[in-house]
Chain A
Amino acid sequence: MTISSLISLLLALIVTLRSSPVSASSDYHEQLILQPLPQSSLLASFNFRGNTSQQSFDNQHFQYFPRALGQILQHAHTKELHLRFTTGRWDAESWGPRPWNGSKEGGTGVELWAWIDAADDKEAFAKWITLTQSLSGLFCASLNFVDSTRTTRPVVSFEPTGDHPAVDSLHLLHGTLPGEVVCTENLTPFLKLLPCKGKAGISSLFDGHKLFDAAWQSMSVDMRPICPSDGECIIQIEQTVDMVLDIERSKRSRSNPIPRPVPNEQLLCDTSKPYNSHDTCYPLEKASGNAWSLQEVFGRTLNGVCPLAESDGSSDQSVCLRVPHERQVFHSEGAVEHKKADGFTRCFALSSSQPFDLSIPEQAVQTEVPLDEPVLHAERTIVGHGQERGGMRIIFGNPSKTTDVDFILFESLPWFLRPYIHTLQAIITGPDGVPREVPASELVTGTFYRPAIDRERGTQLELALSVPAASTVTLTYDFEKAILRYTEYPPDANRGFNVAPAVIRILNAPDSAPIYIRSTSLLLPLPTPDFSMPYNVIILTSTVIALAFGTVFNILVRRVVSVDEAAALGAQGLKGRILGKLVAIRDRLKKKETKVD
């Protein structure tokens, strides 16, 4: 049993829930899965799911579905919505595949995609703008900056997850804000959407300080209609929070958060290193694992159960922990522990009234919860130098020895980054380790490309790719950086411009849910002007024009005479007369002086 099998189990659970006839028109579930990861990290996956019947949704009678969100969705004719707030980087090298197969995470910052019911593209975009503006207010995020330049219409990267009666009139729109900083002000409205509001149940563990201190965290809101073949349609809202906490870091007390070095005698050194000595140490991870408890890691204990979720049998055990069974786990009174047959999962049925805490002591264990290898490694960077041109390099690694990986690479680039698609090149490094340049068309099986229009829309590029087994493929293309107008620069122009992460949808396994990977977001430095420029320009051009004009005008208007003639003329002019008077006064003074003498 691995994490991915756990995920598939969860998905199977969802599928069964979906397929089973819905007895109650509205119900609510929540679940928390805790899993220690290598490098003293802890993955906590929170999942909240509420259903409401289509009829009461349409009539605006909200019970488990939040009213604020429901009204926005109805106003914008949004049939399916996916909203993501993500910070940090998922370290796939050491943590393995992503939770929920990446389907519940977004690129760094904010990502939003929705299926909107509209007659044509124009109407859909108008509703999309309504949606982003309203969500911006609801979630205190800068979603109102998702304008036409940040909006794309992906063709093959996303599929609706709900059941829609009229798919033809639905328009998929996708927008990202890679520069958005996700923080506590986004968590508070997120919690308000939950029926138990972070006051009871697993949501009572949320603390903004801990959540946004995580090495990686992703909040998601998904809304979709589900229509069982034999019953009334329901509207489902699913909210998840996934975070990877550094246990050591989280255990620091809030009053004294300064990290302290581990005392020498407690250091565990790798003695096999050649440089190992009494003052040089290569620290090893503790074999016995970290000791932690909910109170220490989250700063608070779990406050009973959310009573709305009680009625359902499966979410009776709403907290699950994935550690080997041989590992000791202490839990507070009133809770009942259930060990699952897989040997690594145990779940807890909580008492409704008592607070719940669990603690894991340090213990040397033989078995570890095995982690899967991710299906695909992906890395994306900007290469090149200078203010004018650059290049993009995307590296895909297929760790599998036997199977090829088919996937779709979806890039949405800002308009001021102008890619040259004809420069698309591929270098493939096979199992022998020899890099070989191949034409890109050999790997790319399909291209969906929508070029940018300056200040109107960004580039949208979807590539269907295939990476052979045990190979690494490096895709590169060149781009040109546009020069922006003076007013288009943000206040911190020299920091660079965020480029949204690429979304990779892996197409293997035709029946199961798709796997998504997102690269990190990029920072693109653009040439920045001197911002005191306009006034300088006014002054400089005025001076030049005045000089040129003065010269030309004088040549045209002035009379040319010789020097002594000029003197004679000068005596008649205003200046000459003043000078003459001055001379006369001087002469008189001189005369007086001579008289005195």
Chain B
Amino acid sequence: MTSKTGDHESPHASATLTADTKPRAQRVPPPETPEAIQARFRVIAAFWAVIIFLGFPIWWKTTSIYRAHLPIQDMADWADGKTCRPVFPLEIHVAAPTMQLPESQHLVRTTQHALDDLNEFAAHHLRLKLTNDTEASTAPSGDDNATAGITADDGPDTALTVRVVPQEGLATPRSELRADTTQLDIFYPPSQAPVPSSSNPPLSVFIAEELQRLYSEEKATIAHILSGGTAGRDSETISRRLRRSMKYADTYHLSFSLFTPGSAPSSWHIEAAVQEYLSPLLHAFAPISNFTIDTQVQLYARFSPMTPAPVYDEAESAWTLKKEDLSAFINAAEWPLNPSIGSGPTLNFILYVPDPSQSPMIVKENRASSWIVPQWGGVFLLNPPLAQASKGGQTNPAHITQESLRPAFMTFSHQLLTLLGTPTTPASLPLRLQSLIRVRAATLLLSASSTMGSLARLTESLPSIPIPATVASSVSTTLSHLSSTCSHLRGGRFGAALASARIAESEAERSFFEKSMVGQVYFPDEHKVAVYLPLLGPIGVPLLVSLMKELKRLVAGWKARRRSTA
């Protein structure tokens, strides 16, 4: 290790040489000059200085991965539900125009008591508020209330208006929910008018029970969502309904297709039908989602060869499809049902006109002519009256009129509501839409929170993936919108809560599916060794050895100096 010259001799030769030259071995070279030692020290120090101050930073810079700072703890807290407990206080206005103020105040108080007694799910509670303003109780149409969510000011949204009216000739109170507005009319016999003295008047109990019944499905759904799909009454039916419905999106593409295995009908009066039967519903949905509509006509759409053919049923005098075969009804390989372009999922509604030789066609088990394909769309079998063909035999009509599209579009509207996750009760559509807003807000809040949690876990478990700055900004946007969602919910402003939750969800998705993060660079350690070793091996070893020797010399010199001073 000391001198290159020694290496030239073979071990054997040197061994004999040492034996032979032992007597002459006293000839030791003169000690090195301090200048030489100094120069060697400087050379080695210079080399190491270059390595430490230039090489190492460059290597560090070029091989390090940018990881933006993420608020991991906050994200995990949101996912665990520690930051926000969503609550749903519904404000219900009570109007009793015929009653005296103290009477009505008493009615509201006792009803509120009765309601609180009935309620077993604390997160969702109804707050009654007396408004004897007759305009407010009668004026609001369903339309205004549905849009109220977005235009809400600081006050909470009004979920429902209860109008208490006396009516002659009644034995017991009676309720009536208007189908097109958010108003519940309660008629009571004047004999049962609440008396301020009674602590539990029958009218209050009746109103409380009515309200409880009205919101029971929504309550159960929200309880189900908040508990993560385990608790709550009717858990099975609710989870089935939720499974069917589409994931929430800003925009849904509705695609209506006319399929027929033959060449007729080749046209339909679709524009008018959409305008007439569907537009009002879509308009009512405007605060929740947007919709685009496209339609197509597809002829010669045969079943796939794997589909079991329909069977003729003598009793029904119809061609029947078995219920379990309905999943194979759509020939996905051949029918052009590709999703629409643009962001947002596509809902497909298929109007199938069977071949004249297989008409009419129904579902065997329940004689139904329509069914839902969960999270995908719906199918309607249309059996138009057959026309007598000129050459004998029967044909489908060449054109389907708007009137004959009516039952199909009624079904499609219903299927659309189901696919969008609208609750089945109560009967009033504005109430159902309001309820949908709350359910969606809860779903989005939970899903965005859990996405945050997943992202936090992902970045912690994979230290080698980069985190770009855009992800960090998306995460902070998500968190701020999540907390604003939470406060909106607490304040009862559900429309605003949904709007915030929408942004939170889309930002959360964007941060989780960030491309540069998903495509992490994979460098196995063997590759690193293969690349570094050829260079660092031959260079590193002499450098390290010389450094060690130099350190040893310095330590020895330091010790010697200490001994000499001591």
Q: Is B534 located at the chain interface by the 8 A CB criterion?
A: yes
The one of B36, B300, B535, B543 in contact with A199, judged by C-beta atoms closer than 8 angstroms, is B300
Interface residues of B in 274-303 (CB under 8 A from A): 292-302
Instruction: Assess whether B267 is in contact with A583, with CB atoms less than 8 Å apart.
Output: no
B550 to A, closest residue via Cβ: A557
Instruction: Assess whether B44 is in contact with A559, with CB atoms less than 8 Å apart.
Output: no
Binary contact readout B1-26 vs A (1 if CB under 8 angstroms, 0 otherwise): 11111100001001101110100111
Q: Nearest chain B CB to A279's CB is how many angstroms away? A: 54
Instruction: Assess whether A579 is in contact with B1, with CB atoms less than 8 Å apart.
Output: no
The one of A306, A550, A559, A564 in contact with B538, judged by C-beta atoms closer than 8 angstroms, is A550
Instruction: Assess whether A545 is in contact with B296, with CB atoms less than 8 Å apart.
Output: no
Q: Nearest chain B CB to A535's CB is how many angstroms away? A: 7
Also in contact, A570 and B6, with CB within 8 A (given A68-B336, A307-B266, A583-B18): yes
Q: Which residues of A contact B24 (CB under 8 A)?
A: 564
Q: Which residues of A contact B100 (CB under 8 A)?
A: none
The one of B293, B340, B391, B539 in contact with A549, judged by C-beta atoms closer than 8 angstroms, is B539
Also in contact, A579 and B3, with CB within 8 A (given A307-B264, A559-B36): no
Please choose the segment from A190-198, A384-392, A471-479 that sits at the chain B interface, where 4 or more of its residues have CB less than 8 A away: A190-198
Instruction: Assess whether A579 is in contact with B14, with CB atoms less than 8 Å apart.
Output: yes
Q: Nearest chain B CB to A453's CB is how many angstroms away? A: 26
B256 to A, closest residue via Cβ: A61
Q: Give A580 to B14 CA distance when docked, in angstroms.
A: 10
Q: Which of B19, B29, B32, B267 has the most CB of A within 10 A?
A: B29
Binary contact readout A287-311 vs B (1 if CB under 8 angstroms, 0 otherwise): 0000000000000000000111000
Q: Is A71 located at the chain interface by the 8 A CB criterion?
A: yes
Q: Is A184 located at the chain interface by the 8 A CB criterion?
A: no
Q: Nearest chain B CB to A226's CB is how many angstroms away? A: 21
B531 to A, closest residue via Cβ: A538
Instruction: Assess whether B3 is in contact with A75, with CB atoms less than 8 Å apart.
Output: no
Q: Nearest chain B CB to A30's CB is how many angstroms away? A: 13
Q: Which residues of B contact A542 (CB under 8 A)?
A: 534-535, 538
Interface residues of B in 291-324 (CB under 8 A from A): 292-302
Instruction: Assess whether A546 is in contact with B538, with CB atoms less than 8 Å apart.
Output: yes
Q: Give A229 to B341 CA distance when docked, in angstroms.
A: 33
Instruction: Assess whether A571 is in contact with B25, with CB atoms less than 8 Å apart.
Output: yes
Q: Give A56 to B294 CA distance when docked, in angstroms.
A: 10
Q: Is A509 located at the chain interface by the 8 A CB criterion?
A: no
A193 to B, closest residue via Cβ: B336
Q: How many residues belonging to A are interface residues under a CB distance threshold of 8 Å?
A: 61
Q: Which residues of A contact B341 (CB under 8 A)?
A: 71-72, 75, 134
Instruction: Assess whether B263 is in contact with A75, with CB atoms less than 8 Å apart.
Output: no
A556 to B, closest residue via Cβ: B43
Interface residues of B in 379-418 (CB under 8 A from A): 391
Chain A contact residues, majority secondary structure:
helix
Q: Is A366 located at the chain interface by the 8 A CB criterion?
A: no
Q: Nearest chain A CB to B342's CB is how many angstroms away? A: 6
Q: Is B563 located at the chain interface by the 8 A CB criterion?
A: no
Q: Give A563 to B3 CA distance when docked, in angstroms.
A: 10
Also in contact, A307 and B263, with CB within 8 A (given A200-B300, A538-B531, A575-B6): yes
B270 to A, closest residue via Cβ: A61
Q: Which residues of B contact A550 (CB under 8 A)?
A: 538-539, 542
Interface residues of A in 54-73 (CB under 8 A from B): 56, 59-63, 66-68, 71-72
Q: Give A492 to B546 CA distance when docked, in angstroms.
A: 50
Q: Nearest chain B CB to A439's CB is how many angstroms away? A: 52
Binary contact readout A561-581 vs B (1 if CB under 8 angstroms, 0 otherwise): 111111111111111100110
A192 to B, closest residue via Cβ: B336
Q: Which residues of A contact B292 (CB under 8 A)?
A: 60
Q: Is B47 located at the chain interface by the 8 A CB criterion?
A: yes
Interface residues of A in 528-545 (CB under 8 A from B): 535, 538-539, 542-543, 545
Instruction: Assess whether A59 is in contact with B271, with CB atoms less than 8 Å apart.
Output: yes
Q: Is B98 located at the chain interface by the 8 A CB criterion?
A: no
Instruction: Assess whether A557 is in contact with B43, with CB atoms less than 8 Å apart.
Output: yes
Instruction: Assess whether B543 is in contact with A553, with CB atoms less than 8 Å apart.
Output: yes
Q: Nearest chain B CB to A151's CB is how many angstroms away? A: 21
Q: Nearest chain A CB to B263's CB is how many angstroms away? A: 4
The one of B28, B267, B535 in contact with A545, judged by C-beta atoms closer than 8 angstroms, is B535
Q: Is B562 located at the chain interface by the 8 A CB criterion?
A: no
Also in contact, A567 and B18, with CB within 8 A (given A61-B271, A545-B539): yes
Q: Nearest chain B CB to A516's CB is how many angstroms away? A: 31
Q: Is A595 located at the chain interface by the 8 A CB criterion?
A: no
Instruction: Assess whether A574 is in contact with B1, with CB atoms less than 8 Å apart.
Output: yes
Q: Nearest chain A CB to B110's CB is how many angstroms away? A: 56
Q: Give A139 to B399 CA distance when docked, in angstroms.
A: 31
Instruction: Assess whether B263 is in contact with A200, with CB atoms less than 8 Å apart.
Output: yes
Q: Which residues of A contact B19 (CB under 8 A)?
A: 583
Q: Is B338 located at the chain interface by the 8 A CB criterion?
A: yes
Q: Which residues of B contact A557 (CB under 8 A)?
A: 40, 43-44, 542, 546
Instruction: Assess whether A61 is in contact with B295, with CB atoms less than 8 Å apart.
Output: yes
Q: Which residues of A contact B515 (CB under 8 A)?
A: none
Q: Is A353 located at the chain interface by the 8 A CB criterion?
A: yes
Instruction: Assess whether B25 is in contact with A567, with CB atoms less than 8 Å apart.
Output: yes
Instruction: Assess whether A565 is in contact with B28, with CB atoms less than 8 Å apart.
Output: yes
Q: Which residues of B contact A592 (CB under 8 A)?
A: none
Instruction: Assess whether B28 is in contact with A568, with CB atoms less than 8 Å apart.
Output: yes
The one of A138, A553, A579 in contact with B11, judged by C-beta atoms closer than 8 angstroms, is A579
B530 to A, closest residue via Cβ: A535
Residues of A within 8 A of B (CB): 56, 59-63, 66-68, 71-72, 75, 134, 138, 192, 195-197, 199-200, 306-308, 353, 535, 538-539, 542-543, 545-547, 549-550, 553-554, 556-559, 561-576, 579-580, 582-583, 586
Residues of B within 8 A of A (CB): 1-6, 11, 14-15, 17-19, 21, 24-29, 32, 36, 40, 43-44, 47, 255, 257, 263-264, 266-267, 270-271, 292-302, 334, 336, 338, 340-342, 391, 530-531, 534-535, 537-539, 542-543, 546
The list of the 8 closest CB pairs from A to B, nearest first, reads: A546-B538, A60-B294, A542-B534, A565-B29, A307-B263, A67-B296, A199-B300, A542-B535
Instruction: Write 6 A-B pairs (CB below 8 A) sorted by A numbering.
Output: A66-B336, A199-B300, A557-B43, A565-B29, A568-B27, A576-B18
